Chains A and B, each alone.
Chain A
Amino acid sequence: MATRSNWWIAYLFLAPVIVVMALLVFYPLLQGVIYSFTNMTQYNMGSKFAPASWEFIGLKHYIDLFSSMLQPESVFRDVIIQTLIWTFVNVFFHFTIGLILALLLNRNIRGRGIYRMVLVVPWAVPSFISAFSWTWMYNQSYGVFNILLAKLGFAPIPWLGDSFWAMVSVIIVNIWIGVPFMMITLLGGLQGIPQSLYEAARVDGATPWRQFWTITLPLLKPVAATATVLGVIWTFNMFNIIYLVTRGGPARSTQILVTYAYQEGFMNWNFGLAATYGVVILSFLLAFTLLYQRLLKENSNEGVYY
């Protein structure tokens, strides 16, 4: 019974979470946002041997960044476009391939457990090992893909040496890594759909296609929506693959916001500007998440079938 006198128990149970979140999430978050308004670099950040001497510069970083987008040769604009391409192409293929595999695995086929296990392997392998293996396979002169192409009589492809192909290459690696998660999640969703709905539909004479559109997809939506949001956030912030396979190159053509923020923060040591990138990334993801939730709610027909 929740009465005024035992409310404190709820707060007591919440307290550890609130403390941990405050320390690990909200404090650094706030600190990062504050840093984005400073000119902090490695020289003025302060250390054991030198006092801190950074200053607040207000919105200068933001103004510089966004006004640079208006220039004809804006790296920042290119990076944003590349980030969007990277994210949406990846998540699109994660979802479609993951859904197809999940549908296949959801049927009664022999050796289903084995397939399921094998298909999860890409996700289980540490991403840097995957990245290195793919880098070897993409090697223009000695990689297995170009050797195969040559055997089949095609011209070699400059996988990592051309802007377009480099983007294709890293996206393929990331699809390979990301599909298993989507597949397993969607498979879980599929298995939660009551069989009785399909039986009823079959009695009414619905084709498999019709069953898919009117039963499977709508009922999969809650799971699919969460998985897609997670997929977008993870892909948007996927640092390893790009950093290890193309290093953002050639000529910045595969840089995304996170790798670019890393470069500003840990190669140029501009912490203020790097924090600004962090805020930009956060704003993008927040805007996306809020918009997506709203869209889902608007044409939501959750609960209709139950």
Chain B
Amino acid sequence: MKRVFGILTAAVLFSILLAACGGSGGSEATETAGQQQDGPVTVTFWTTVRESEAVALKEIIDEFERQNKEIKVNMQLVPFGEAQNKFRAAAQAGNGPDVLRSEVAWTPEFAKLGLLEPLDDYFQDQDDFLDAPLNYSKWNGRVWSVPEVTDALALLYNKKMLAGAGFASAPKTMEEFAQAAKALSNGTDKWGFYLRQTEAYFSLPFVWAFGGGLIDEQKQILINTPGAVEGVEFALKLRDVDRVSPRDLDAANSYQNMNEAFKNGSAAMIFNGPWAMTDILSGEQFQDPTNLGIAPIPAGPGGQTGSPVGGHSLAIYAGSPVKDAAYKLIAFLTSAESQAFLASKNGTLPTRRSAYDMPELKENRMISDFQAVMEAAKNRPVIPEGGQIFAAFDPEIQAIYKGEKKPREGLDAVAQAWRTLLGQ
């Protein structure tokens, strides 16, 4: 009897695991189709903005509903960390939301899965959009989403601290960057630069500056090319030989620690994006916001530079019964006025060129500083697998910064994993 009990217990636990893996059978798909043409239609909109950002978004949606009496918007906040899987599961079962705010790297993946509606017939004024964010919307010869906001890593620096060490402006080259970082470090509690070592994303600027890359349009893997290796070696040397950055391999806390160190003045420079501005400006070092410097990533020996472009775009679910209304909402949310409004309220970066010329953004120093960063920014690979490349990359970069693997070995392992991922 006990044996049976043991087997059954194991079987139950195991099947729970498998049932979770087993995907969702389409049987329980509740169809929302058959919207009445008369009477208002409802557009369900899943957005991944934080609650603080949703306030401004809600204002825009209210305005949209005022102008379009026949459309009701049902906005739902879905936590960013869950949205990718939640949409996938709901959409494959046949009940996705009409409009999804999708991280840029998810779009090609969802498109390949057939979950998105191509927007070629809808999305006309593409010329007004910045190239890098727009690239993420295109895959396999079609357009799948409209870029809503964009971002990229910038070099954030503490102006007073750099000036105190004799650097009047932001470092332009990696050499100057290393010098400034060295001048501002004492190796124990003063750090010239705080490198985030648990996420590969934050090392990408070094990879590009030294001539490396990720995966190109032809699906060629560039992550273990000499330039990429040199970039990671440079970052490693900064930490271990020049001792400008603390060793921090605590994945759960390192992002917070990096920002904290920058905010309280124990680190003079970090890489971070526009999403972090509100948090950083709350720090004691930035009571005077002009003390915060925002500069493009310093250029490498060959004059190259780059920082990963991220952001979010709006896409329509392939099974949506109200596609026209859904696109109306998307067009409204991505208009230059809406983008400028969101940018001035939330500090996000518009994706339309014309939005940067709007009066409320012309005056905004953060936005114009970040515009310079965006111009030098680079796309991550626009491929269906683009959303998964960090699953193999992060542990390897951790192994490199842990000293377990040489940069070359670690990046070779990443390339190997990516070949499997791409089916090469």
Contacts and interface: CB of A to CB of B under 8 A. Distances in A.
Interface of A: 24-26, 28-29, 31-32, 35, 42-43, 45, 47-50, 135-136, 138-143, 158-163, 226, 229-230, 233, 237, 244-252, 258, 261, 263, 265-269, 271, 274-275, 278, 281-282, 285-286, 289-290, 292-293
A271 B319 CA distance: 24
Contacts of A266: 85
Given A278-B17, A278-B18, A160 B260 contact: no
In order of increasing CB-CB distance, the 5 nearest A-B pairs are A32-B18, A161-B249, A49-B114, A289-B6, A47-B92
Given A251-B402, A268-B391, A160 B253 contact: yes
Contact of A49 (B19, B115, B246, B402): B115
Interface string B275-310: 000000000000000000000000000000000000
Interface of B: 2-3, 6-15, 17-23, 26, 29, 85, 88, 91-94, 112-115, 198, 246-253, 256-257, 260-261, 318-319, 384, 388, 391, 394-396, 398-399, 402, 404, 421
Q: Which of A26, A31, A230 has the most CB of B within 10 A?
A: A31
Nearest to B3: A293
B115 A47 contact: yes
B21 A265 contact: yes
A269 B22 CA distance: 11
A47 B21 contact: no
B114 A45 contact: no
Contact of A237 (B13, B23, B26, B421): B13
Given A229-B9, A233-B13, A278-B18, A250 B92 contact: no
Question: Which secondary structure dominates chain A's binding surface?
Answer: helix
A271 B23 contact: yes
B88 A237 contact: no
Contacts of A138: 250, 252-253
B93 A48 contact: yes
Nearest to A296: B2
Contact of B113 (A49, A140, A281, A282): A49
Given A28-B18, A47-B113, A49-B318, A282 B10 contact: yes
B398 A251 contact: yes
Contacts of A32: 14-15, 17-19, 21-22
Given A141-B257, A289-B10, A293-B2, A42 B17 contact: no
B29 A48 contact: yes
A163 B297 CA distance: 32
Contact of A48 (B3, B9, B26, B249): B26
Nearest to B114: A49
B9 A233 contact: yes
A20 to B, nearest CB: 11
B251 A271 contact: no
Given A138-B250, A229-B9, A233-B13, A50 B18 contact: no
B7 A249 contact: no
A290 B6 CA distance: 8
A174 to B, nearest CB: 16
A135 B256 CA distance: 12
B107 to A, nearest CB: 15
B250 A251 contact: no
A286 B10 contact: yes
A35 to B, nearest CB: 7
Nearest to B421: A268
Nearest to B116: A49
Contacts of B91: 47-48
B115 A28 contact: no
A175 to B, nearest CB: 19
A258 B29 CA distance: 29
Contacts of A49: 92, 113-115, 318-319
A42 B21 contact: no
B257 A271 contact: no
A282 B398 CA distance: 30
A250 B198 contact: yes
A286 B8 CA distance: 9
29 contacts: A29-B18, A48-B92, A49-B114, A138-B253, A140-B248, A140-B257, A141-B253, A158-B249, A158-B250, A161-B247, A233-B13, A247-B252, A248-B395, A249-B251, A249-B394, A250-B249, A251-B399, A261-B21, A265-B21, A271-B23, A275-B21, A278-B18, A281-B17, A282-B10, A285-B13, A286-B10, A289-B3, A290-B6, A290-B7
